[in-house]
Amino acid sequence: MLGAFKLVFGALVVGFLLIPLMAILPLAFTDSVFLTYPMSGPSLRWMNTLAESDAWRRSIVNSLIIGTGATIVSTLVGTLAALGLRRDLVPFAGVLRSAFLLPMVVPAVVLGVGMQILYARMGLASSYTGVIIAHAVLCVPFVMINVSSSLAAIEPALERAAASLGASPRRVFTNVTLPLAMPGVLTGAVFAFATSLDEVVITLFVAGPNQTTLARQMFSSLRENISPAIAAAALIIMILTFVLIGVAKLIPMLKARKAAAEA
């Protein structure tokens, strides 16, 4: 009885997670001009639209530029924050930690309006720097959470051992702490890139027409005309995300296999 219930519940959850994606993605290859079923025939016309249309092409490039920038900035800041707040040595460490996690809880609209006002004063409005910083703010919590958990998993005796064996604090960090925290840093970076890639709300507030990202382009084209180009763009975003997550999962697996092969 309970077993059957579990199975049905599990199937429902997976269904709700996957069916919407399954439904939209095939439309990337429709030959019709409408984003609806039934598909009259397969074609690559909407893929070509993405590649040829100036707006779509630019938005993809923008997403890559902004995503990369935001990933670098947030990985740096998030890692440093996780390290700094690691041992509660800083006064108000708990408050600071919550502050870093705030962008995850605060409604994006609120953050977006605030940033728009702030950026207007600072002259960052409608600039790549502005969008990168805005995205980085959103990404920092993901990096910090991942790095913090991999730091917490480091046995404290390891760093003491390194110090007792003659490593200065700097060398303890580069030789022991950082390598052991690396999986968390990489996972955090992947999450950061994925977050930046599909961020729309804040981008609407802080980006100018030149910084239109793929997600933003999808959003606005959705309002104008519901063309299957959106499905094609969604497919691209998903492929990028899957590749990234795959890489993040694959690195530790390959490492483990290499270690096993050497032994």
Partner 1 sequence: MAAPRRAAVRPKADRMQSFIHFESVSKNFGAAKVVDELDFHVGKEEFVSLLGPSGSGKTTLLMMLAGFERPSSGAIHLDGRRIEHLPPYKREMGVVFQNYALFPHMTIAENVAFPLKMRGVGAAERESRTLKALELVQLAHLRERKPSQLSGGQQQRIALSRALVYEPKVVLMDEPLSALDKQLREHMQLEIRELHRKLGLTVIFVTHDQSEALTMSDRIAVLNHGKIEQFDTPTGLYDRPRTRFVAEFIGETNLLPGTVESSRDGEKTIRMADGTGLTCRDASDFSPGASVMVSVRPEMMHVAGAAGENRIEATLDDCVYHGDHVRLHMHRGDIRLVAKAHRRDAQAAMGGAVGVSFRSDECTLVAP
State the residues that interact with partner 1 by CB under 8 A.
Answer: 155, 157-158, 160-169, 171, 175-176, 179-180, 259, 262-263
Whichever of 77 and 180 has its CB closer to partner 1, that residue is 180
In the complex, least distance from residue 198 CB atom to partner 1, rounded to whole angstroms: 33
Whichever of 54 and 155 has its CB closer to partner 1, that residue is 155
In the complex, least distance from residue 160 CB atom to partner 1, rounded to whole angstroms: 6
Whichever of 104 and 161 has its CB closer to partner 1, that residue is 161
Neighbour tally for 210: CB within 10 Å: 11
Q: Hey, what long-range contacts does 53-60 have (CB within 8 A, 24 or more apart)?
A: 53/229, 55/212, 55/217, 56/214, 56/217, 56/229, 56/233, 58/212, 59/212, 59/213, 59/214, 59/216, 59/217, 59/233, 60/214, 60/236
- Whole-angstrom CA distances from 197 to 125, 203, 234 are 20, 11, 11
In the complex, least distance from residue 84 CB atom to partner 1, rounded to whole angstroms: 20
Whichever of 64 and 178 has its CB closer to partner 1, that residue is 178
In the complex, least distance from residue 91 CB atom to partner 1, rounded to whole angstroms: 18
Distance CA 186, CA 146 (A): 9
Whichever of 175 and 220 has its CB closer to partner 1, that residue is 175
Ranges of H-type helices in 166-228: 169-172, 178-197, 201-206, 214-224
Maximal C-alpha separation, the chain: 72
For residue 38, what are its two tokens?
A: 């039934």
Distance CA 150, CA 243 (A): 23
In the complex, least distance from residue 3 CB atom to partner 1, rounded to whole angstroms: 36
For residue 55, what are its two tokens?
A: 């707006």
Contact (Cβ atoms closer than 8 angstroms) between residue 157 and residue 214: no
In the complex, least distance from residue 254 CB atom to partner 1, rounded to whole angstroms: 15
Whichever of 70 and 181 has its CB closer to partner 1, that residue is 181
In the complex, least distance from residue 248 CB atom to partner 1, rounded to whole angstroms: 18
Contact (Cβ atoms closer than 8 angstroms) between residue 137 and residue 103: yes
Distance CA 142, CA 71 (A): 11
Burial class (CB in 10 A: 0-12, 13-18, 19+), 24: middle
Whichever of 162 and 233 has its CB closer to partner 1, that residue is 162
